[in-house]
Structure formats: structure tokens, C-alpha cells
Homo-oligomer: A and B are copies of this chain.
Amino acid sequence: MSQTIKIGFFGCGNVGSGVWKLLTGFAREITHRTGLQFEVKRVLVHDLQKKREIDFPAGTLTDSVDDLLNDDEISIILEFLGGEEPAHAWDMAALQHGKTLVTANKVAFDLHWHELQKAAKENGVGLYYEAAVCGAIPIIHTIEDSLQANRISYLYGIVNGTTNYILSRMSKEGLDYEAALREAQELGLAEPDPSSDVEGLDAAYKLSILASLAFHGRVPFEYVYVEGITQVKAEDIRCGQEMGYTLKLLAIAKRDGLRVETRVHPTFIRNDHPMANVSGSFNAVFLKGHACGEMMFMGRGAGDMPTASAIVSDLVRAASTQKHCYPTFSNELYPAARLESNTDWQSAFYVRMLAEDQPGVLSKVAQTFADHGVSIAAMQQKGEKLNGRVTVVLITHKAGEKDMQQAVREIDPGTAAVESLLRVEKE
């Protein structure tokens, strides 16, 4: 005996169409495996006249949100709208109308998490968001349901497929940023306006959600330092490779007591690190817990069917649970405590300079670093001269971010011009 659950869609673009296809095309298996049957009763769209790939049954489409909110048969809403408004307002309305919400919208969810969770609790309904982060990768389920007995000290994510594709092409084919971006756009992996991806904002929203769950304390979007990949130069990728490193846009979250650092920026990692082989549009999250040790989860972070896979798993969870769960944050356990944002983190660095080829120049540079507590782990000088200067690349040991920035400012560009400064993750 299977039970039929009536659901509604907010939006029906790429991901919504994927969910429809999965729920219809794989219905028999889903019912067999879960004992549940799903019927998509209403789909909210902006334009009823738009030509669509899917031939919805008559009466399914509507352009009025009230048709879903006021339909008492609909118990679960899936949201695929994206962006903050009107998604947030409609999500709130759905919860207040006693409907469980399954959302793929990281922006509306992350910016209004507290309010949404409060509304869900008050109305005794569920709030599910696996698909909001890293597409098909069950990273939310894993942190929530499989790593409960762990104090997670850090996590690194490759959480944006567009930028990972661009950096992979720059690494493997030696393309420059503009050429790799154009290629990604032609393949539909980057938007015509790619700014949210390439400037790191998309990754920052995801990091805010992941860090909050991993650290059991709310890490708002504003805590995340963000630097995108628009300034990345093919030459730095090449120089890094020669020294054994691969460049990735990493979303990094580390916790030390109640201090957290959360940052999104291009980062070199060792070529033999498991994240270094996460190429193309793949996503991955690497983390360390005090009991589980180091783990990594890799998969498709976007695309209609991978995201649909996550949505349907949340849908099954929402429909089969007797008691919805909500994450608990540590400020409830330690009422006086609050996670603080640490912006002066420790990191190793990569520096590329064009230096005068004269005795004493490098020792002066090294002295400036030493004055700020920065010590050098590896240095490479290239033979070829350019306008009387040579390229010098160095990797530092761990140093404070602010000390490093100050040291770089003090290096005299008359003898050594710092062309690039990038962070290196060695753990």
C-alpha cells in the first residue's frame, strides 16, 4: 500500500523540470523503495503562455501563488525560484500555511534561515535544503545525520562548478581567464552575466550554510570574506604547478573555539591532495571531524538531474518522517556564546614578483618578510629576463594574513614588484 502525497512547485525552470522528469520517469522505483507516491498538483510559473518542454496536465500551471497556498491538499512545496525575493516571501507564506518547504534556493534560505526555521517550527512543518548546496552531494544530510558525534574543526569546499571548470581549463590547457570563461559560457556552464559565480558570491552563500551546520553555530553570509577568480592569471597557475600546487576556488571554514574564519578565494593546494583531482564542473567538500578524521564528498554541484536527485531525496525524507528535525546551534548550548568572525587568519602564501636581477634584492625582500614574521618555505627564480627583471616565485610558511599584506606593501616596487599574492592551503 503506498500513500499519495500532493505537492506544489514554486517555479519550473531547469531544476523544476528535472524534478518533474525524475518523479514521473522513475515513479515506480521511488514508490517501490519508499512506499510513497507523489503527485505534482500545482506548478507556479511567471508566464502561463511560455512554451515548455513538459506537457503538464491541464490545470497544473498557475501564475497565482494563492492557488498553492490555499490548496489544503498540497502538503509540501518545492522551491526552485532562486534569488531573494519574491522567493523568501513566498517560502514564508508556504510555511505559515502549514506546508513543508523543500528548497534549492541558497540565497533566500541563507539570508532568512532563522526566520524560516522559526516559522517551520511554529507551524510543525519541515524545512529541507539539501539541494541548496552542492547539487547531488548529500553534504547536508551527512553533516546532520551521519556526523552528529563529531566536532568538525574545518571544511574546504569546491562549491562552485563554473569557477572550477574555468580554473581546470586554465590549468590543463593553459587558457587565460577570458578564454576559459567564454568556453564555459558557450557550454552553458556559465551565465551570460557570470558575476555571482566568478566573483565568489555563490560560493560564499554555500559556505555560510555549510559552516553553520558544521560548527553548530550560525555563520552569517556577512562573515564570509570573498575574493573571486577574475584576477587569476594563467602564469600563476603555471608557476604553482611547477612547485607542485593546483589552484582552486576554495570555500574555507575553520573553527578555533568560538572563533571562526570563513573565506572564499583562489587557493593553491598540493597536487596530491584529493581535492586537486576534483576537476571540471565537479564540486567537493573536504572536512575533518575529531572522531571521523578527514573525509571528502565529491559530485555534481549543479545541473537539472543532479539537483533533482537531491530534491527528491529531501522530498522522501519530508514525506516519510514522523517528526521534522531542525539544526541546533551552539549558542543554545552555551547561551552566552556566539561565534565570532576571525579575519586575521593564518595561511601560507604564494608570491610572484618581478625583481631586479642584482645582488642583494632577494635578501632585502626576504628581510621585509622576516620583519613581519613571514618565513619562506620555497623559492624559485626563472632564468628568462624581462626588461632586466627576473620572475621570482616563493611559497611561505604559515603567517598572519594582515602581516603578509603589510609585508607586501612594504616591498619596494623599484627593486621587486609583487605581481600576484595567493593563499596556499597545506593541511
User: Would you give the shortest CB distance from A7 to chain B, in whole angstroms?
Assistant: 14
B141, B278, B309: which contacts A291 (Cβ < 8 A)?
Answer: B309
- The number of residues on chain A lying at the interface, defined by a beta carbon within 8 Å of a beta carbon of chain B, is 60
Residue of B nearest to A216 (CB): B33
Which of A190-198, A247-255, A310-318, A415-423 lines the interface with chain B? A310-318
Q: How far is the CA of A305 from the CA of B147 in the complex (A)?
A: 12
Q: With A and B bound together, what is the CA distance between A330 and B33 in angstroms?
A: 9
Tell me which residues across on chain B come within 8 A of A216, comparing CB atoms: 29, 33
- In the complex, which of the residues B130, B146, B306 contacts A293, with contact meaning CB atoms closer than 8 Å? B306
Contacts of A29 in B (CB 8 A): 149, 151, 216, 333
- B292 to A299, Cβ gap below 8 A? yes
Chain B residues with CB under 8 A of A284: 296
Instruction: Output the nearest chain B residue to A172 by Cβ-Cβ distance.
Output: B272
For A277, what are the chain B residues with a Cβ–Cβ distance below 8 Å?
272-274, 276-277
Q: Which residues of chain B are within 8 angstroms of A333 by Cβ–Cβ distance?
A: 28-29, 32
Given the known interface contacts A141-B141, A148-B33, A295-B299, the answer about A279 and B289 at a Cβ–Cβ threshold of 8 Å is no
Question: Is A77's beta carbon under 8 Å from chain B?
Answer: no
Question: Which residues in chain A, 238-297, are within 8 Å of chain B measured between CB atoms?
Answer: 272-274, 276-279, 282, 284, 289-297
Within 8 A of B (CB), among A316-355: 316-317, 322-323, 328, 330, 332-333
Q: Is A34 an interface residue (CB 8 A)?
A: yes
A22 interfacial contact with B, CB 8 Å: yes
| Chain B residues whose CB sits within 8 angstroms of the CB of A316 once the complex forms | 145, 148-149
1/0 contact string of A9-49 vs chain B (CB within 8 Å): 00000000010001000101110111000000000000000
Which residue from B34, B130, B276, B295 sits with its C-beta under 8 Å from A136? B295
What's the minimum C-beta distance from A306 to chain B, rounded to whole angstroms?
5
Q: Which of B136, B276, B290, B312 is in CB contact (< 8 Å) with A148?
A: B312
Q: Does A88 contact B (CB under 8 A)?
A: no
A144 to nearest B CB, angstroms? 9
Task: Check A308 for interface membership: any CB of B closer than 8 A.
Answer: yes
Does A167 sit within 8 A of B, measured CB to CB? no
CA distance A407 to B322 in the complex (A): 59
A142-B145 contact, Cβ under 8 Å, with A136-B293, A299-B294? no
| Cβ-defined contact, B147 with A313, below 8 A | yes
Determine whether A78 belongs to the interface, using a CB cutoff of 8 Å to chain B.
Answer: no
Say which residue of B33, B130, B151, B282 sits within 8 Å of A26 (CB atoms): B151
Flag whether A218 is at the interface (Cβ < 8 A): no
Residues of B within 8 A of A295 (CB): 136-137, 297-300
Distance of A138 Cα from B148 Cα, bound (Å): 12
Q: Could you tell me if A138 and B146 are in contact, using CB atoms closer than 8 angstroms?
A: yes
Closest residue of chain B to A18 (Cβ to Cβ) is B291
Interface string of A162-193 (1 = CB under 8 A from B): 00000000000000000000000000000000
Residue A367 lies at the interface, judged by CB distance under 8 Å to chain B: no
Can you offer 21 A-B residue contacts whose CB atoms are under 8 A? A28-B333, A30-B148, A32-B332, A138-B142, A141-B145, A146-B310, A147-B309, A148-B312, A148-B316, A149-B316, A274-B274, A274-B278, A277-B277, A284-B296, A289-B309, A291-B309, A292-B300, A292-B305, A292-B306, A293-B299, A322-B322
- Using a CB–CB distance below 8 Å, which chain A residues touch chain B? 18, 22, 26, 28-30, 32-34, 130, 136-138, 141-142, 145-151, 216, 272-274, 276-279, 282, 284, 289-300, 303, 305-306, 308-310, 312-313, 316-317, 322-323, 328, 330, 332-333
Closest 5 CB pairs of A and B: A138-B146, A295-B299, A136-B292, A149-B312, A291-B309
